[in-house]
Amino acid sequence: MRQLALLGLVFAIIGLAPFVISSDFTLNAVIMILYAALVGQAWNILGGYGGQFSFGHAAYFGTGAYTVAVLQVQLGINPWLGLIAGGAMAVLVAAIIGFSTFRYGLRGSYFALVTLAFAEVLRILSNSVPFTGAGVGILIPLDQGPANLQFVTKQGFFWVIWLITLAAFVTVWWIGQSRFGAQLMAVRDNEDAARALGVEAFRVKMGAIMLSGLFSGLAGVFYAQYFLYLDPYIAYGPAVSVESLLVPIIGGLGTLFGPLLGALGLHVISELTREFIGEFPGISLVIYGIILIAMVLFMPRGLAGLASRLRARPFGTRAKAAEGSHA
Amino acid sequence: MTDEKKPAGIVRRDFLQTAGTAALGLGITGLPTVLRAQPASVKIGLIHPVSGFIAFSGNQCREGALMAIADINAAGGIKSMGGVKLEAVLGDSQGKPDIGAAEVAKMAEAGINGIVAGYASSISLATSQEAAKTNTPHVVDVGVSDQIVSRGLTNTFRFSPGYGKIADFAVANLDAINKAAGSPAKTAMIIHEESLFGTGTADLLSKKLPENGIEVIEVIKHANPTRDFTNIVLQIKAKKPDLIIPANYYNEYVLLARTMRQQRIEAMGIYSVLGGAASNYKFVKEFPEAAENIMDCNHWFNPKSEVALARKAAAEAKGLVYTYEVFLAYNAVLGLADAIERAGSTDKEAVNAALSSSNMDMSFMPYGPTRMVDGQNEGAQPVNTQVLKGDIEVIAPKEFASAEAVFPVK
């Protein structure tokens, strides 16, 4: 319960943002951090807690995004309904991918490659079929108003992403406390042992991938409504899949706050490198990459791991403890 | 909090209102515009994909825009504002619409007076929409999607032609070139990249060419990037089309053209629409044999204009390849500066109004008179170019032509 209280406090503090931030740019940064935390947390459910490393979360993200866009543009269906439909379609795609892979016992790099292939297949399909706009993409008409899930100010978008992200984090907190979560982590740590203890690994993994798909799909819906334009590369391209896994890896795999820390850390590094060396094209990306490599090398448990390590070791004992850890 | 969001111009206006009342009391009836407090500089945001997978084009855009700013400043800055200089504020979208939009938000808060962006249509859609939230004047330099100016955004303008016009022009001129040669071309194959530009081109040409008596016998889509065109070229060789119509970005265009040359493809002509390399001096210089006789429908400058030729020489003196990105970004800055000049201030509404009524002289381009309709310069049009004897010549329209079309080649 202490963790839930802390979660509530963190989100309450984040919720103050629209009241204390007058700068649209800064509020946009907070929105994008929440959005990155959402895609990262979605991946974390399956990858961090379930130990199933997916390289193809774009499949769920893109499905959510395209669902809301296609329903609006082709069928005139309100995007609030599209939000639900986007999440549902992403769950369906996750169920199909999960069934096709877990049913046949795919694990590790095989599972990762198959998920990557699914995302790529969806990218090629969306690039070919006319109702997604094919390669031309799909532009959601600008029609600002809360009824259309488009807001004149950033505050409206902030509350939408804040709520969805909060829901994702509360779900992950629940996973950490529940029997389902315990089974999921048992599968992650040793699937054969978990099976021997009576855990239905297939059912547990299916639950995890569908929850993961749901939040990825909702992130896709949010992206579509925020930027109002999608094409196959934006929706199903590798950038989304990479961002999804990078955020929890940097923040801390299988931890509740890892994706939030990862999203914050990545955004701050990205902004700082762009701010100070952005005038030299490409250099900021190189520095960004070097920092990421260093973080992965020297902080294998991510920012969350670093935070707990610092908390656990008072200053006087840190050097001694470090010596011990190398021993 | 509220004060931070209030535009500086409004505050100044409030101040002037009070001061004006006092001045009237003293018998002074007004102040010349240029004597009013002016900003130290007019800030122009330049947002381009200078890193990432379209970095070459993004950098070309940035260089063109910077050249325009330097030229305007050298000519005395914004004269109606007492010679205030333009100041470039640089942004990198990294080829991503969301980062482009974030750059706009940052610049808008830093008090930017106008934005020129964003090379790709997808980025331009995002940047113009974000700029619309603060009514910041936004001029699109290269993005050709017609959707950019059809969303009712009152801050978004484009001086170059949009896709619909380019495609119509391409089809009509191909028909004219074919008919002038006695209509020898009866069949065509389209090879296009997979995104908005290539797919849109292929769809449109597939519909329009049969109306002009040219049957489209095959449409081949390829991914970006594609590094081996052998299979595609072998298909072309098997089908023996009279016309080959590529619609791809620079790298793929070059590879396709080279592979066709290696495989000794013989067609009556290669005719591109917005060909990534067909109107590019770099391609012509590096692969003259592959480039020879290729026709293109693309953005180009007026080869009969001294101003255009002087700008080309200046760009080349700086070591730049004079691609359309350079001169379209240059023109976009010029159009924005012209509007600020006519508005006599950086008030956003006034600048947007000036852009809406722009009649800037663009005789350095092969355009008609500048006339803005819903943010689109209706006077803008593409031209047909052809690579002839190692140089890029304009072959249509006639009033801008520097050479006659060579067709059919075989």
If you average pLDDT over residues B126-135, what whole number do you get? 92
CB contacts under 8 A, B 167-186 vs A, are: none
Domain that residue A123 falls in: 2-326
Handedness of CA B22, B28, B33, B36 (dihedral sign): negative
Residue of chain A nearest B88, judged by CA positions = A279
Using CA atoms of A143, A145, A151, A156 in order, give the dihedral in degrees to the nearest 10.
-160
Q: What is the C-alpha to C-alpha distance for residues A98 and B303, in angstroms, rounded to an integer?
A: 60
Q: Which two tokens stand for residue B372?
A: 């803005």
Work out the pLDDT band at B36, boundaries 50, 70, 90: low
Residue B370 CB burial class (10 angstroms; 0-12, 13-18, ≥19): buried
The correct CATH number of B32-160+305-377 out of 3.40.50.880, 3.40.50.2300, 3.40.50.180, 3.40.190.10 is 3.40.50.2300
**Beta pairing partners, B244:** B189, B270
Residue B322, CA distances (Å) to B62, B67, B252 in order: 13, 12, 20
Same fold, B32-160+305-377 and B164-298+383-400: yes
Q: Which is more confidently placed, B231 or A324?
A: B231
Using CA atoms of B276, B278, B282, B285 in order, give the dihedral in degrees to the nearest 10.
160
Asked if A239 and B108 come within 8 Å (Cβ–Cβ), the reply is: no
**Sequence-ordered list of residues with C-beta below 8 angstroms from that of B277, at least 6 positions apart, any chain:** B250, B253, B254, B257, B283, B291
Half-sphere exposure of B314 (CA within 13 A, CB side): 16
Chain A interface test: which of B46, B122, B150 (most A C-beta within 10 Å): B122
pLDDT tens, position by position, B72-104? 999 999 999 999 999 999 999 988 888 899 899
Q: What pLDDT was estimated at residue A65? A: 97
Asked if A24 and B55 come within 8 Å (Cβ–Cβ), the reply is: no
Q: What is the C-alpha to C-alpha distance for residues A306 and B180, in angstroms, rounded to an integer?
A: 74
Q: A158 with A264: CB under 8 angstroms?
A: no
CB contacts under 8 A, A 80-119 vs B, are: none
Q: Which is more confidently placed, A268 or B23?
A: A268
**Sequence-ordered list of residues with C-beta below 8 angstroms from that of B279, at least 6 positions apart, any chain:** B296, B298, B299, B300, B323, B324, B385, B392
Asked if A227 and B59 come within 8 Å (Cβ–Cβ), the reply is: no
pLDDT surpasses 60 at B13: no
Q: B33 with B80: CB under 8 angstroms?
A: yes
Q: What pLDDT was estimated at residue B6? A: 40
Q: What pLDDT was estimated at residue A123? A: 93
3-state helix, strand, coil in chain B (%, to 5): 45, 20, 35
Average confidence score pLDDT of chain B: 88
Q: CB of A136 within 8 Å of any CB in chain B?
A: yes
Q: How many CB pairs under 8 A join A and B?
A: 89
Asked if A136 and B101 come within 8 Å (Cβ–Cβ), the reply is: no
Which pLDDT tens digits describe chain A residue by residue (327 residues)?
A: 788 999 999 999 999 999 999 888 899 999 999 999 999 999 999 999 999 999 999 999 999 999 999 999 999 999 999 999 999 999 999 999 999 999 988 888 899 999 999 999 999 999 888 888 877 788 898 888 999 999 988 999 999 999 999 999 999 999 999 999 999 999 999 999 999 999 999 999 999 999 999 999 999 999 999 999 898 989 999 989 999 999 999 999 999 999 999 999 988 888 887 777 766 767 767 877 888 788 878 887 888 888 777 777 655 454 444 433 332
> In 10 A of CB B320, how many CB atoms?
18
Residue A304, CA distances (Å) to A49, A247, A260 in order: 15, 12, 9
CB contacts under 8 A, A 272-301 vs B, are: 274, 278-279, 281-282, 284-285
| For chain B, domain boundaries | 32-160+305-377, 164-298+383-400
Asked if B106 and A227 come within 8 Å (Cβ–Cβ), the reply is: no
pLDDT tens, position by position, B383-398? 999 999 999 999 999 9
Residue of chain B nearest A232, judged by CA positions = B195
- Kindly provide the b/e burial profile for residues B202-231, where b requires at least 16 CB atoms within 10 angstroms of the residue's own CB: bbbbeebbeeeebebeebbbbeeebeebee
Nearest to A223 by CA among A14, A94, A58, A15: A58
The correct CATH number of B164-298+383-400 out of 3.40.50.10190, 1.10.3720.10, 3.40.190.10, 3.40.50.2300 is 3.40.50.2300
In total, how many domains does chain A have?
Answer: 1
pTM > 0.90: yes or no: no
For A227, the closest of B91, B101, B195 (CB atoms) is B101
Q: B312 with B394: CB under 8 angstroms?
A: no
CA A207 to chain CA mean position, Å: 17
